[in-house]
Amino acid sequence: MAYYASKEQMIKAFGEVELIERTDREHTAAIIDDVLNRALDDAASEVASYIGKRYGNLLLVNTPPRLIGICCDIARYRLYDDGVTDTVRNRYLDAIAFLRDVRDGKNALGDEEADAGAISRTQVNTAVRRFTRASLRDY
């Protein structure tokens, strides 16, 4: 599955040391990609479960920065199998609250002005009605 956030973005957000601590279960002193990718996959699935109906498949080339941060927070929470800290838990709960607001239309993922502009540019073209009761009477 594609992810909303990458390994590099996780390192930038939380540091390599923390990710080694959370993924290196064999004590190799390195980030274990399989463990990290599983957390990123779980995070992407969780994000999609909240916003999929409203936004559809959002695994885009240009993922909104806010969504990257949300995915990182969820993946980080998933990496804490035990001993989750209050900070990690609170960031996870904030991420889920934001996703619920997005799902419910109370918040947006991207630039709200750009979203509003896209809506205002929508045009509806109507044609003359071809089939009416009168035109179909003979059939």
SS3 82: coil
Task: Please give the pLDDT value at position 114.
Answer: 38
Could you tell me the pTM of the whole model? Answer: 0.76
- Can you tell me the distance from the alpha carbon of 22 to that of 39, in angstroms, rounded to the nearest whole number? 11
In the block, residue with structure tokens 């969780």: 46
Structural domain boundaries in the chain: 7-111
Task: Please give the pLDDT value at position 63.
Answer: 81
Residues of the chain with pLDDT under 50: 112-125
Nearest alpha carbon to residue 70 among 58, 81, 85: 58
**Are residues 74 and 92 in contact, defined by beta-carbon separation less than 8 angstroms?**
yes
Task: Please give the pLDDT value at position 64.
Answer: 87
Q: Which tokens is 92 given?
A: 């996870």
Task: Please give the pLDDT value at position 17.
Answer: 97
Task: Please give the pLDDT value at position 135.
Answer: 63
Q: Per-residue pLDDT tens for 74-91?
A: 999 999 988 899 999 999
In the block, residue with structure tokens 């463990």: 35
